[in-house]
Amino acid sequence: MRLSHHYATALPETVSKVIPQTLDGIALQWHNSELSAQFNLPTGDDLMAAIFTSGGKLAVNAVAQKYGGHQFGQWNPRLGDGRGLLLGEVTDSHGQRFDLHLKGAGQTPYSRQADGRAVLRSTLREYIASEALHHLHIPTSRALCLMTSVHSIRREHEEPGAMMIRMAPSHIRFGHFEYYFRSRQADTLDKLMNYTLENYFTECQRHAKPHKALLTAISLRTARMIALWQTFGFVHGVMNTDNMSIHGITFDYGPYAFVEHFKSDAVFNHSDYEGRYAFDRQPGIALWNLNALAHAFTDYLSTDEIRECLALFEPTFLSQYRYQMLNRIGIDDNSDNEPCLHQWLALLEQNNLDYTLSFRQLATADPSVEMSSLRDQFVDRKAFDHWWHDYRQRRLTKTNNNSEQSLTELNPVVIPRTHYLQHAIEAAEQGDFGPAEALMAAVKQPFSDNRITRNFQQPAKHNSQVSLSCSS
Ligand code: AMP
Ligand code: MG
């Protein structure tokens, strides 16, 4: 396996060398065979030896990256990889370069008062969610492996410690640019801009105004990602700018959840008292975050140029969202059909129905019948009948009937529901990874209604909104 260190070599002033600290009884629990095959990486004991054996190829040049971030709207310059380490980069046979990032390997200069560790609960949640999003075709970082230990770690109570390695094109966050701009390190900011352009946005580098092209590309990628979050009901939970990837991929999973009974302003992070990161606020927050990032471009672009870049966010988000959603319900992508979508969402919310299951049922409903069996789910049947009468005409007259991509392929049966995750975590904490493995197998085929996915389709029994902790 060949590991490169382009980031650490090009930007040494932005990193600190750190030797990863292992945990007692560390053992490889899972590895992602798809990724190890793509990047020709060692597996099993060979991977563990490479990370932790003294002089191991992976560990020896590990670095923690320095960045800052806006947390819940407040600028915090004191952030950085507090428990994550960039081991280096690997390249696949197509020349695609990805970071290997080890999470939970002990303290770094940016740990502040915290322990630099990760618990099994949060690593399992990240592993399963990132695989789930990947298979829903939502851009995301991926997990390469999960390692368990016998070491217990203090959070709200004692929990088993674990580590994971995740992969992403890079770990450059909005907060990287913000930090070097706000701390007036103009030379480093310039190097970071050039590094990003040369390594990850080569199409922008060739542009007459590379920095403008870069900010535009980040805005567009972010808009497309958020449109997919909104389409599938994903709530990130902590959209601080240090958790926003410049690649427009879902990144730094914390107290995330998928909406179940539909509530447009659902909040799952119990530290988010004001609902800043509520489901329906995610698009606005993404734009707020892009504004924060754009400040770092003020030495390169005029105010008007920055405005032009950011102005692309809203129309891109709206058109992507409309395209995805109208496709999901099987009607033409045009503005005339938008009210029909909004009425459907309002019906789901008013009738307290499960978001994912309702879309799936609509996908498999027969539009040729005048009275759909779906109506039984709705308390307000009259309102549903009224909507159905209008909707079925639109669906029957769809011009572009893409039969090759049937509606079931756009409407999952499985999302990683919190109650299945909790059950899987509790069993894994007792040493039984069976439920977690079964859930993992299901989220990897979210559109198939089969023996494997059947056990993971149901909403939580109590109609309560789960509240998740940030402490991970
Ligand atoms: P997060 O909210 O998880 O994105 O983390 C915010 C900041 O806190 C980042 O700089 C993390 O590296 C740091 N951090 C979170 N948990 C820990 C931990 N257990 N030990 C050290 N640093 C941490
Ligand atoms: Mg983070």
DSSP assignment string, 318-365: HHHHHHHHHHHTT--SSGGGHHHHHHHHHHHHHTT-BHHHHHHHHHHS
Q: How many C-beta atoms lie closer than 10 Å to residue 184's C-beta?
A: 8
**Averaged pLDDT of the chain:** 95
Residue 118: phi, psi to the nearest 5? -130, 150
Q: Is the CB of 85 under 6 A from ligand 1?
A: no
Same domain, 181 and 105: no
Catalytic residue status for 242: yes
Same domain, 265 and 388: yes
Query: How many domains does the structure of the chain reveal?
Result: 3
How far is residue 182's CA from residue 293's CA, in Å, rounded to a whole number?
11
Does the pLDDT of residue 465 top 90, yes or no?
Answer: no
Q: Are both 178 and 235 inside the same structural domain? A: yes
Domain end position, chosen among 139, 168, 197: 168
Distance CA 348, CA 182 (A): 44
Indicate which atom in ligand 1 lies nearest the CA of residue 116. Answer: 20
- Ligand 1 neighbourhood includes 131 CB (under 6 angstroms): no
| Rounded Cα gap, residues 8 and 88, in angstroms | 8
What is d(CA 320, CA 438) in angstroms, rounded to the nearest whole number?
Answer: 33
Model pTM above 0.75: yes
Tokens of 375: 């109506």
Bridge partners (DSSP) listed for residue 17: 63
CA distance to 75, 82, 233, per residue, from 67 (Å): 11, 10, 29
**Containing H/E element for 129?**
helix 120-135
CA of 79, closest atom in ligand 1 = 10
Residues 228 and 280 in one domain: yes
Q: Give me the phi and psi of 164, to 5 degrees please.
A: -145, 160
72-81 pLDDT per residue, tens: 999 999 999 9
Reduced to 3 states (helix: H, G, I; strand: E, B; else coil), residue 250 is strand
Ligand 1: does its nearest atom lie under 6 Å from the Cβ of 117?
yes
Q: Determine whether the shortest distance from the Cβ of 114 to ligand 1 is under 6 A.
A: yes
DSSP 257-275: EE--B--TT---BTT-TT-
On whether both 426 and 343 belong to a single domain, the answer is no
Using DSSP, state whether 173 is helix, strand or coil: strand
Tell whether the model's pLDDT for residue 405 goes beyond 70.
no
Closest atom, ligand 1, to C-alpha of 108: 21
Do 289 and 359 belong to one domain?
yes
Ligand closest in space to the Cα of 114: 1
Going by pLDDT thresholds of 50, 70 and 90, the confidence category of residue 403 is: low
Whether the CB-CB separation of 399 and 332 falls below 8 Å is answered with yes
**Does residue 428 sit in the same domain as residue 462?**
no
Contact yes or no for 407/363 (Cβ under 8 A): yes
38-67 pLDDT, tens digit per residue, is: 999 999 889 998 888 766 778 889 999 999
Q: 177: CA distance to ligand 1 center in Å? A: 18
- Going from the Cα of 111 to the center of ligand 1, the distance in angstroms, rounded, reads 7
Which entry of 24, 92, 115, 242 is annotated as an active-site residue? 242
Q: What is the pLDDT of residue 470?
A: 78
Residues 464 and 441 in one domain: no
Question: Which residue range(s) make up the domain with 35?
Answer: 3-168
For position 401, what pLDDT does the model report?
66
Examine the domain organization and report whether 145 and 207 are in the same domain. no
Among 132, 150, 168, give the residue marking a domain's end: 168
251 in the same domain as 142:
no
Final residue belonging to a domain, choices 142, 168, 194: 168
Mark whether 222 and 155 lie in a shared domain. Answer: no
Distance CA 331, CA 229 (A): 20
Ligand 1, atom 8: closest residue by C-alpha: 82
Instruction: Answer whether 252 contacts ligand 1 (Cβ < 6 A).
Output: yes
Ligand 1: centre distance to CA 276 (Å): 19
134 & 214 share domain? no
Q: What's the pLDDT score for residue 462? A: 72
**C-beta of 211 in contact with ligand 1 (< 6 A):** no
Cα first-last separation, the chain: 31
